[in-house]
Amino acid sequence: MATRIVAAPGKIRSKNNSLVWLSAASLVVFFIIWYGLVESGIISKALLSPPAEVLTTFISKFSNRAPDGATLGAHFKTSLTLALTGYITAVVVGAPLGLLMGWYKKVDSIVKPIFEVIRPIPPIAWIPLAILWFGIGLPAKAFIIWLSAFVPSVINSYAGIKLTEPVLINMSRTFGATNWETFLRVGVPSALAMVFTGLRLSLSSAWMTLVAAELLAATEGLGYMIQMGRTLARPDVIIVGMLTIGLTGAAMAFILERFEGKLAPWRRS
């Protein structure tokens, strides 16, 4: 009996270990195929750099400004500032607006017609107007990112609060709670899971739009770096830029998930 109790966690760990190995193996195979394709000449080195070269460029870009005029750190900082500015201002407005629209019919009636028309317009379609209004500085790009993050945060908060259990609303009302009190203490917490889904979708949307915005009009940033890589025919620079974008996006999603776990402890299993 005692041995079984001791053995059980070990079994679980070895199972987890084998899953980790599986993930590692998949990465290794991916790099081998990449390496093989380039080294065997199936894909020309001018079009795709081998993994080792990408790694070297990645490391050297930490201090080297060539060939695109700024270090990786500087590009990264520009992009991150831009994305977070647009993202945070969007969700600070979008999530509460969605919640209010979902709860108060009057707010819904006022906002919905405008929102429904703006919603299907892809954020990049705003680029010309944004440049016309704000020039090609940070405000124009922040505006486009703001729009791209705004829409999912509104929609998900709206849908989330609409799903509040009617029985909980009735419970609160029979206790004599005002509508506003019920909104804050029943509607909002019950919508929190969907609000966070919105925050996640907004984040990926903001990050993706960032690159599109920078490809068009920028002097610094990860999108600009990729664009310069193409102009200078440097696939290694392009791939370094892409990898940085991918890793940062994943890291931000991870941080947001942690934050959600802190804010919604009742959902932790």
Partner 1 sequence: MTNNGRKIKIQVQNLTKRFGDLLVLNNISFNVYEGEFLCIVGPTGCGKTTFLNVLTKLHPATEGDIYIDGEPANPQKHNISFVFQEPSTMPWLTVEQNIRYGLEVKKVPEEEIKKRLNQVMELVGLKDFRNYYPRQLSASMDQRVVIARAFAINPDLLLMDEPYSQLDIKLRYYLEDEVIRIWREMKRTVIFVTHNIEEAVYLAERILILTPKPATIKKEIKVDLPRPRNFADPEFVNIRNQVTEMIKWW
Residues that bind partner 1 (CB under 8 A): 165, 167-168, 170-178, 181, 185-186, 189-190, 192, 264, 266
- Based on CB atoms, which residue is closest to partner 1, 9 or 176? 176
Question: Cβ(235)–Cβ(229) under 8 Å?
Answer: yes
Question: Cβ(115)–Cβ(58) under 8 Å?
Answer: no
- State the nearest-atom distance from the C-beta of 105 to partner 1, in Å: 17
- State the nearest-atom distance from the C-beta of 203 to partner 1, in Å: 23
SS3 (DSSP) at 84: helix
- State the nearest-atom distance from the C-beta of 88 to partner 1, in Å: 24
- Greatest alpha-carbon pair distance for the chain in Å reads 76
- State the nearest-atom distance from the C-beta of 266 to partner 1, in Å: 4
Dihedral sign, Cα of residue 208, residue 212, residue 217, residue 223: positive
Question: What are the structure tokens assigned to 53, written together?
Answer: 């070269």
- Based on CB atoms, which residue is closest to partner 1, 159 or 215? 159
- Based on CB atoms, which residue is closest to partner 1, 72 or 199? 199
| Distance, CA of 75 to CA of 245 (rounded, Å) | 11
The identity of residue 150, as a single letter, is F
- Based on CB atoms, which residue is closest to partner 1, 120 or 265? 265
